[in-house]
Homo-oligomer: A and B are copies of this chain.
Amino acid sequence: MPRAGLSPGAVVDAALAVIDERGPEALTLAAVAARTGVATPSLYVHVRNLAELRRLVAQRVLTEMAERLGAAVMGRGRDEAVAALFHAWRAYVLAHPARYAAVPAQPRTDPEVAAAAAGLMEVVLAVLRGYGLTGSDAIHAARRLRATAHGFAALEAAGGFGLPEDLDTSYQQVIDMVVASLRGTAAAT
C-alpha cells in the first residue's frame, strides 16, 4: 500500500474540489478522505478537525481573491481601477460560486481568516487611495465598496436574482453607483 503523500495544502485542495463539485454543505471529512484515497481518521494528521479545514478553506479563498483582485487593479487608477476590481470580484464568484459561498460561514473572529480578509481589504484601500481617500473616509468608502460587491456576489452566487433582466447591466449600474459615491466623498483632485 503506497502512501497518499498528503499535506495540509493537499487536503485543502481536495476540500475545494469537493466544494466546487457538490457545494459547501457537502464538505465532510469523509468526502475529502474518499477523494484523497485515505481513511477518514488519517486526515487528522494534517488538519486538526473539520472546523479547521473550513477555516483553511476560507483562508485560501480569501487569499486567492486578494491575489486576483490585486492583479486586476494593477496599473489602473480611480474609476478604471474600481471597475476592474468589481469585474474581477464578480468573475471569481461566477467561476467558483460554491467556494465563495463557503467563506461567510466562517467566524471572522479567527485571526488567520481575518488576516486573509485584511489582504482583500488592502486591495480595496489601495484603489481608494487613488481618490485621495485616507483614514476614516477611506474606511467608510471601503465598507461601501465591500458591502456592494459582496452583496451582489452573494445574491448572484445563491441564485437570488430570479428575473430575466440582464445581470451585466445591473452590475454596471452598481459600479457606476459606487464610482459616483467615491467621487462625491473624495478629496479635491
Interface: A26 (CB within 8 A): no
Instruction: Give A47 to B165 CA distance when docked, in angstroms.
Output: 36
Q: Copies of this chain, how many? A: 2
Interface: A147 (CB within 8 A): yes
Interface: A31 (CB within 8 A): no
- Asked whether, in the complex, the Cβ of A173 is within 8 Å of the Cβ of B144, the reply is yes
Instruction: Give A17 to B109 CA distance when docked, in angstroms.
Output: 24
- Asked whether, in the complex, the Cβ of B177 is within 8 Å of the Cβ of A181, the reply is yes
Q: Number of A residues contacting the other chain (C-beta, 8 Å)?
A: 42
- Asked whether, in the complex, the Cβ of B114 is within 8 Å of the Cβ of A139, the reply is no
- Asked whether, in the complex, the Cβ of A108 is within 8 Å of the Cβ of B154, the reply is no
Write the A112-136 contact mask toward B (1 if CB under 8 angstroms, else 0).
0010011000000000000000001
- 28 inter-chain pairs at a CB distance below 8 angstroms, sorted by A residue, are A104-B160, A108-B159, A108-B160, A114-B162, A117-B160, A136-B165, A139-B163, A139-B165, A140-B169, A140-B170, A141-B173, A143-B152, A143-B161, A143-B173, A143-B174, A144-B177, A146-B151, A146-B155, A147-B148, A147-B152, A148-B148, A148-B174, A149-B151, A151-B154, A177-B177, A180-B180, A180-B181, A181-B181
